[in-house]
Amino acid sequence: MIHNRIALLRAEKHMSRQRLAELVDVNPQTIGFIERGDYFPSLELAFKIAGVFGVAITTVFSEAPFTPLFTKDKEQQ
């Protein structure tokens, strides 16, 4: 299984699925499928997505689940 942070990165950039799809030349549904883990992108598409956000591919995709950026302890401080 491949895990991803696409939705998080899109939210940070105030970017719609439609806009990301346009930038990487895929259907917006494809972005939704990737975000939900229903479809795994090709290496080429993964690099394109990472490039849109200006980050390393490993910032967007991982074989292991990502650790949460915030925990309840951090939120309460």
Q: How confident is the model at residue 54 (pLDDT cuts 50, 70, 90)?
A: very high
pTM summary value: 0.85
Q: How far apart are CA 54 and CA 9, in angstroms?
A: 10
Q: Which of 48, 53, 45, 65 is nearest to 4 (CA)?
A: 65
| Best CATH choice for the domain 3-76 from the list 3.60.15.10, 3.40.50.300, 3.40.50.720, 1.10.260.40 | 1.10.260.40
Q: Any idea which residue has 């799809």 for tokens?
A: 21
Q: Please, are residues 69 and 40 in contact by the beta-carbon 8 Å criterion?
A: no
- How confident is the model over 2-45, as pLDDT tens digits? 999 999 999 999 999 999 999 999 999 999 999 999 999 999 99
pLDDT in the model for residue 66? 87
